[in-house]
Amino acid sequence: MTSIVALFLLSLVLALVMTPVVTRAANRYRMMDRPLARKIHRRAIPGVGGIAIYWAFFLPFVLFLFHDAEIVALIVADNRIVALVVGASLVFGLGLRDDLEPLGPTLKFTVQALAAGIAYWGGIGISAVYLPGIGGFVLGWFALPVTVFWFLLVINAVNLIDGLDGLAAGVSFFSAMILLVLCVISQRTLVAMGLAAMAGSCLGFLRYNFNPASVFMGDSGSYFLGYLLAGLSIMGSIKSQATVAILIPVIALGLPLMDAVWAPIRRFIYGRGMFQPDRDHLHHRLMKLGFSQRRIVLGLYGVTIGLGGLALLLVNARDEQAGLILAVVGAAVILGIRRLGYLEYLTVDKFGGWIRDLSDDMGVSRDRRTFLSWQVALAAASGIDQLWEQMVATAQFLGLDYIELKLDSACNGNGPARRVCLLGAARDRIDPSALDSERVLRLSIPLDDGSRPFGCLVLAKDTRGAALSPYTFSRIEHLRRTVTECVIKLTGNGLGTVPAADGRPQLILPASSAKLSPSK
């Protein structure tokens, strides 16, 4: 216990001393984090504070190697330490490089995955999972991908919450302290010493990083802290029938993990790039609600401490109690997401509509499958006249009131250049132009072979009649594609050999009072 306290204090003092030194060097050599549209700060601030965190973590161990044989024996006896040091140094170097010159997401994820693989091959891996009420099972071949995923998740979780002064450093400090308590309880001394050094370096750095910050940790610091949290949480995990090998640290790190998991899901739902930076993270949402940076940071500290308390309860909880705790945490997460306005558009009716649209796109719905039969009939037409008859029947199925097909002479041969048909209630109207133009939906759709238009498809619907289906427009697009492909097939891909009289088809609805035959 004395060694744990000593490591904490040494790391704390070193961070307090080294952070100003790093800050001055960053100012001198212009290693600054400059304002961007998605960032909150409005002036350039030194952005390589992770250097101070890195050395404040490792130097105390170097000092102890010369003065404490017991610690040396613990380190030598645990082969995983080498993998942890190498992997942590690798992601630190990656982050520092990214701080100086931004890197692409592919390279960053690749190096992070490599560092996670180093940890796994060094003995730091998730090999088995124990779920409340279910029991345990061995991951086998899935151990490597699960371990890599865990490292990537935690590394980028800490990086994502590093958006407010003191947030990432403070959350990392409290998370490390919670895991430290768990390791002391389970008598995992070496892991507890690592967490103590991490907590001390975070607390010392927080002196200069809390609002208003004079230095940022940058990606070098957030990657390094995330890697340490991921690796040390595995090394110190408590395994029992009532917990998951990684469940307790998941709860303890719940705040950053929730943001990291929700960010790509949120971007996917709203059609954005999965790795596109934005200002829609948890702390950004709280700022939009009117909270100050300090209040947000202090409030999120409290959430982290509360989740840490729940993690401590899981240590000796029975399956039923553990299940209840997880249910409470899950409900709180869902409530928090809704309260922050993330799901303001995703109401039950709109989500149900999205499911219906998805089933229609996949061809699962009955209406979509029925329309497919009409497409098959269109594609099977043996001539332009038969194609037209099928088009009329398809338009009637779609609930349209008017359909017109105009083709160049190259496509028609000796047939009429223009075919028109009134459908449904519109049969009683002789002249479509007499319809109230403000109540009629008209679509004029060019048909082309990729090089030039060879005809036109005109559709109309009187909105005073039955309403259109929500999928009518998608059906019309499928109709256009099928008609285009069928005309090209029937004309032997010879489009364009005979030009139209004026070089293009007439693409308007008939405006004269001439009577129109139903089909010709």
Assigned domain for 323 exists: yes
Q: Are residues 248 and 291 in the same domain?
A: yes
CA distance 232 to 197: 12
CA distance 47 to 23: 8
Q: pLDDT for 242-259, tens place per residue? A: 334 456 667 766 667 777
Q: Which residue has the tokens 């009329």?
A: 392
Q: Which of 277, 486, 274, 234 is nearest to 383 (CA)?
A: 486
Residues pairing with 422 in the sheet: 402
Residue 445's φ and ψ, nearest 5 degrees, are -115, 110
Beta 135-138 vs 453-462: how paired, if at all? unpaired
* CA distances to 193, 352, 367, 463 from 359, in Å: 54, 11, 10, 26
List the Cα angle 419/390/422 in 5-degree steps: 45
Q: How many domains does the chain have?
A: 2
Domain that holds residue 405: 366-490
Assigned domain for 500 exists: no
Q: pLDDT for 318-336, tens place per residue? A: 555 666 766 777 677 666 6
Assigned domain for 353 exists: no
Is the predicted pLDDT of residue 144 greater than 70, yes or no? yes
* CA distances to 398, 439, 507 from 462, in Å: 13, 6, 19
Q: Are residues 464 and 419 in the same domain?
A: yes
Q: Which helix (H) or strand (E) holds 324?
A: helix 319-339
Assigned domain for 156 exists: yes
Contact 192, 6 (CB under 8 A): no
CATH number for the domain that contains residue 394: 3.30.450.40
Q: pLDDT for 62-103, tens place per residue? A: 888 777 777 778 787 888 999 999 999 999 999 999 999 989
Contact 449, 460 (CB under 8 A): no
List the Cα angle 81/85/86 in 5-degree steps: 115
Residues in the chain: 520
Q: Is the peptide bond before 212 cis (omega within 30 degrees of 0)?
A: yes
Q: Are residues 433 and 401 in the same domain?
A: yes
Is the predicted pLDDT of residue 347 greater than 70, yes or no? no
Using CB atoms within 10 A of its CB, is residue 2 exposed (0-12), middle (13-18) or buried (19+)?
A: exposed
Question: Which pair of structure tokens corresponds to residue 432?
Answer: 């479509």
Q: Residue 356's pLDDT band (boundaries 50, 70, 90)?
A: low
Contact 236, 189 (CB under 8 A): no
> What does 24-50 look like in DSSP terms, one character per residue?
HHHHHTT-EE---TT-S--S-EE--TH
Question: Which pair of structure tokens corresponds to residue 122?
Answer: 């060094």
Contacts of 3 (CB under 8 A, 6+ apart): 64, 68, 70, 71, 189, 193
Q: Are residues 313 and 430 in the same domain?
A: no
Q: Residue 135's pLDDT band (boundaries 50, 70, 90)?
A: low
Q: Which of 83, 73, 86, 87 is nearest to 189 (CA)?
A: 73
Assigned domain for 357 exists: no
Contact 28, 96 (CB under 8 A): no
Assigned domain for 213 exists: yes
Contact 461, 400 (CB under 8 A): yes
Assigned domain for 498 exists: no
Assigned domain for 513 exists: no
The predicted pLDDT at position 286 comes to 78
